Amino acid sequence: MTRGAQSLIGRDELVAGLEQTLQTGRSRFVLLTGPAGIGTSALAEHLARRQDGPVLRATAAEWESARPYALLLQLLADLPTSDPLGTAAELAARLAPSAVLVLHDAQFADVESLRTLASAQRHHPELALHVLATATTGDRRAAAEVLDLLPRIATDVPDVPPLDAAQIGELAAARGVPLHSSMAERLRRHTLGRPRPAVQLLTELPRTTWSQFEPALPAPAAVHAGVREGLAACASGARRFAEATAVLGANAAVRNVLALADLDSDALELIDETTAAGLVELVPRGLTFVSPPDPMVRAAVLTCIGPARRAELQRRAAELVDDPVRALRLLATASPVPDADVARRLDDLARERAAEGAWGTAATLLSDASRLTDDPEHRQARLTRAVDALIGAGDVFRATALIPEVESIRETPLRDAVLGYLATVRGRAAEAGNRFRRAWDIVNADREPETAALICQRYVLDALCRYDGRDLVLWADRAIELAGANTPTAVEAEAIRGIGLAATGSAKQAQRHYDDLTARLHHGAQWQRATMARGWINLISDRIDDARVDFESAIPTAYLGGSARISLWARAWLARVQFLSGEWNEALTTVRDAMEMQERTGILLTGPLLLWTAAAVHALRGNFDAAEEVLLQSATGAGDYQIMRIPSQLARAHFAEARADSAGVLRALYPLTRTSPSSSTDEPGHWPWQDMYAHALVLLGRLDEADEFLTRHERAAAKRGHTSMRARLASARGRLHGARGDVAAASASFDEALELISALPLRYDQARINFSYGQALRRLRRRAQADVVLSAARDGFAAMGATTYVERCDRELKAGGVHRARAEPAPKTLTPQEEAVTRLVARGMSNKEVAAELFLSSKTVQYHLTRVYAKLGIRSRAELAARNNPDPPAED
């Protein structure tokens, strides 16, 4: 097999599976199908290059489909033909012992050629014939008999999926065009994830296109030419019907299309003609709605209409559609010069949408309004507000595309506030602080109360990220006073204010605050904010199940009209809930999904918080390579804010603790002992670091220091009545008593810890306390008691997959001599990462699923799998599964 060929972007797992299929030595007929441009031909050629033996190629053509054996005669021009069975025998003799046939556009193949290939594979087992056939779906010119025959004779019909945004970005990078994630997503939507048109546009368009704000992407030249020919072939009425559909866009009511096109013809005849031409498609809910087949066809039709007629149609279409946003955007698109009235209407609607929390829509409307505004001051203000709305929506990349223009305008309080807001979500505390101070210094609150209130509200977010509860409440109260009760700015400030209350020790007051606020808001983006914040308070206050419900409710953004930024916070804290509850697979899935969302949006604030959970899970499961990779990401993404630094420090502490590196725990957490008086990081329940620090002090023999440290934090936990923190600190106190040889005091502290934690669904903490208790008992020579407690700890860790601590429990049990260790020997030749990959693949998981589980890339999983095969002397996933599952279940 040829190994030098480049990989296909987004197809690694598919290629690996097909290669494994083709290595069986038996004949295979692989049918690769999909819409035009999905990349089936490239995939077939890629696979062919990687096979041993001769490769023959043929391309079927519509005009040859009725000629018997036309396809096979392309491969072997002198092949004698009779009937499919006889021709199959001759074909087998010519191609023996093996051959690879690549058949492009098989939907146009002649029936006799396909039957012959099927007979050759069925009746000549001595021939290893690999057929790689491609077929375009939805081609109306293909014969029904061929479309029926192809899947019946195929041995394999794999799914060829579209590329996702990340893969489109990789495709662009391979061609020297860097795309930020939001632009990659825009290109994905425009091309429906099909590689060929994406490559065509990347090649045909100027590079400056990809750094613009909302560029109007055209159709590739090849698509445009096909649409132009299709329109020219249509009758006048059908052409006008297609043009009107393109102007109205997706899900256009047929009655509106007819009205816009000035047609009173039979709609069904027009639909028949335009769908046959590939210009229109029926929406699958009856005959009342139509759409362009895809965004590229729509763009091509709009280009063919011409600017003057297109603008006329767009103005008329604005009167037909019910959606006010769509109507105003049609008017804006139809306006080639400033239009004060349309700009004002866009601005007014943007304010309405922003008040509802629909910031993405507001940003687009404000951008349109800015373009149509003649007055420079108003134009700049609208553009600045558009950037602010984009950041509010969590679309940092699109906001960044407008920043050069915003920075070029004269300084205003609004401009500085918006640039500070962007710095905040990027994690740049110093820059944000300077911007906000400047904005507050130059604003006149009497003349510009709305802008002053906005600056205060941005300060609220800044204080949250600094984790300064007093400052947060101060700025929130100022924002509410300036903006007025129930205004969007005031509600946004209220939605964060409760976290400040909790951070200053008033968690119960914060809980009441959020219960009232969520009851008042009911739905929408502001409700999403308040619900996420209430979940945060519930988590801090040990209401774990309530926190889960709130975070899960605050994650969606589509139907709630919510913010991606708030959704990211909700996901990050949900992952913590899942970690503490022992649902580690679910926690890693939450982290993976959130990191993909962060990549799309460019919001960096929540990155370290998410990676904290991932690093802890990987370290506790013994996947230290994966944990180190996550720690590197976390260190790279840890900005200037406490809300970013603290999780990064906690992640390093988890990693060190999992490796029994107590000195490393102290190094990681030492900065938290030196926080400023204004910081709320010591508040019980907010950041669970104190017990880790105390345990490390005891294990290093620094007993007096541990005693003093514990006393201070025990008082705070008791004052707040914080159950989980009291339990964690009691466990550390028990270890301290044990180190001093006080059996009774140690047992009393550990028993108190277990009693406190038993009332909470914190499976990780329960197992951790049991382990510390068992260790202390064994060192105090209470071996029988230690055996019971360590067995409970082992069971808890095993249920979560915490192999690091399962192995420690087994060592402790073995050293105690009462209970036999239950560790199962792992393959001696495999690294921990290879063992993890082996276990998951043996369960039947795909490389992509394993990658998601272990927080690796699919390429890294394949690399580890290749090494496992070599070490174990096996060649396939099936052999690996059989090796790891030697006893299949008995059949009924």
User: For residue 637, what is the domain's CATH number?
Assistant: 1.25.40.10
pLDDT given at position 859: 63
Mean pLDDT of 713-732: 94
Q: 279 and 378, same structural domain? A: no
User: Residue 3, exposed/middle/buried by CB under 10 A (0-12, 13-18, 19+)?
Assistant: exposed
Residue 635 lies in a domain: yes
Residue 396 — pLDDT band, cuts 50, 70, 90? confident
Q: How many CB atoms within 10 Å of residue 685?
A: 18
Q: Which of 762, 786, 816 is the last residue of a domain?
A: 816
> What is the per-residue pLDDT across 599-637, written as a single tens digit (0 to 9) for each?
877 788 888 999 999 999 999 999 999 999 999 888 876
Q: 187 and 305, same structural domain? A: no
| C-alpha dihedral, 795 to 796 to 797 to 801, nearest 10° | 90
Q: How many CB atoms within 10 Å of residue 546?
A: 17
Mean pLDDT of 704-711: 95
pLDDT given at position 78: 92
Q: 540 and 457, same structural domain? A: yes
Residue 865 — pLDDT band, cuts 50, 70, 90? confident
SS3 of residue 316 by DSSP: helix
Residue 272 — pLDDT band, cuts 50, 70, 90? very high
Residue 383 lies in a domain: yes
Residue 24 lies in a domain: yes
Residue 559 lies in a domain: yes
Of 556, 542, 617, whose CA–CA distance to 583 is shortest? 617
Instruction: Give yes or no for residue 313 having a pLDDT over 90.
Output: yes
SS (H, E, C) 553-589: HHCCCCCCCCCHHHHHHHHHHHHHHHHHCCCHHHHHH
pLDDT given at position 556: 72
- Please enumerate in sequence order all residues whose Cβ is within 8 A of that of 886, keeping only pairs 6 or more positions apart, or say none: none
Instruction: Give yes or no for residue 107 having a pLDDT over 60.
Output: yes
Q: What percent of the chain has pLDDT over 90?
A: 64
Residue 309 — pLDDT band, cuts 50, 70, 90? very high
pLDDT given at position 892: 30
pTM of this prediction exceeds 0.85: no
Instruction: Tell me the CA end-to-end span of the chain in Å, nearest whole number.
Output: 42
Least confident among 479-493, 564-578, 669-683: 669-683
Q: 535 and 410, same structural domain? A: yes
372 vs 817, higher pLDDT: 372
Q: Which two tokens stand for residue 456?
A: 């205060």
Residue 216 lies in a domain: no
Peptide bond into 97 cis (omega under 30): yes
Q: 678 and 560, same structural domain? A: no
Instruction: Give yes or no for residue 23 having a pLDDT over 80.
Output: yes
Instruction: Give yes or no for residue 318 having a pLDDT over 70.
Output: yes
SS3 of residue 131 by DSSP: strand
Mean pLDDT of 16-28: 87
pLDDT given at position 409: 85
Q: Which of 294, 313, 336 is the last residue of a domain?
A: 336
Least confident among 449-463, 725-739, 794-808, 836-850: 836-850
CATH number of the domain enclosing 878: 1.10.10.10
Q: How many CB atoms within 10 Å of residue 602?
A: 21
Q: 471 and 345, same structural domain? A: yes
- Please enumerate in sequence order all residues whose Cβ is within 8 A of that of 747, keeping only pairs 6 or more positions apart, or say none: 734, 777
Name the H helices within 253-395.
254-260, 267-276, 295-305, 307-318, 324-333, 340-356, 359-371, 376-393
pLDDT given at position 6: 54
pLDDT given at position 678: 64
Residue 890 lies in a domain: no
pLDDT given at position 841: 84
Mean pLDDT of 89-95: 93
Residue 407 — pLDDT band, cuts 50, 70, 90? confident
> What is the per-residue pLDDT across 430-475, written as a single tens digit (0 to 9) for each?
999 999 999 999 999 999 999 999 999 999 999 999 999 999 999 9
Q: 231 and 102, same structural domain? A: no
pLDDT given at position 832: 66
Q: Which two tokens stand for residue 76?
A: 């072997």
Write out the residue range of the structural domain in which residue 863 sits: 832-884
Residue 591 lies in a domain: no
Number of domains forming the structure of the chain: 6
Contact yes or no for 204/187 (Cβ under 8 A): no
Instruction: Give yes or no for residue 82 having a pLDDT over 80.
Output: yes
Q: Which of 308, 336, 364 is the last residue of a domain?
A: 336
Q: 183 and 296, same structural domain? A: no
Q: Average pLDDT over the chain, rounded to whole?
A: 88
> What is the per-residue pLDDT across 155-187, written as a single tens digit (0 to 9) for each?
999 989 999 988 999 999 999 999 887 788 899
User: What are the Cα distances from residue 128, in Å, to 46, 117, 131, 616?
Assistant: 19, 12, 10, 50
Q: What percent of the chain has pLDDT over 70?
A: 94
Residue 103 lies in a domain: yes
Q: 757 and 648, same structural domain? A: yes
pLDDT given at position 557: 59
Residue 638 — pLDDT band, cuts 50, 70, 90? low
CATH number of the domain enclosing 279: 1.10.10
Mean pLDDT of 333-344: 94
Q: Contacts from 184-191 at CB under 8 Å and sequence distance 24+?
A: 185/600, 186/214, 186/217, 187/217, 188/162, 188/163, 188/164, 189/295, 190/217, 190/295, 190/296, 190/299, 191/37, 191/295, 191/296
Instruction: Give yes or no for residue 888 having a pLDDT over 80.
Output: no
Mean pLDDT of 211-231: 92
> What is the per-residue pLDDT across 808-836, written as a single tens digit (0 to 9) for each?
898 888 877 665 444 444 444 677 677 87
Q: 692 and 722, same structural domain? A: yes
843 vs 751, higher pLDDT: 751
| C-alpha dihedral, 676 to 679 to 685 to 690, nearest 10° | -10
Q: 288 and 227, same structural domain? A: yes
Q: 484 and 377, same structural domain? A: yes
pLDDT given at position 827: 43
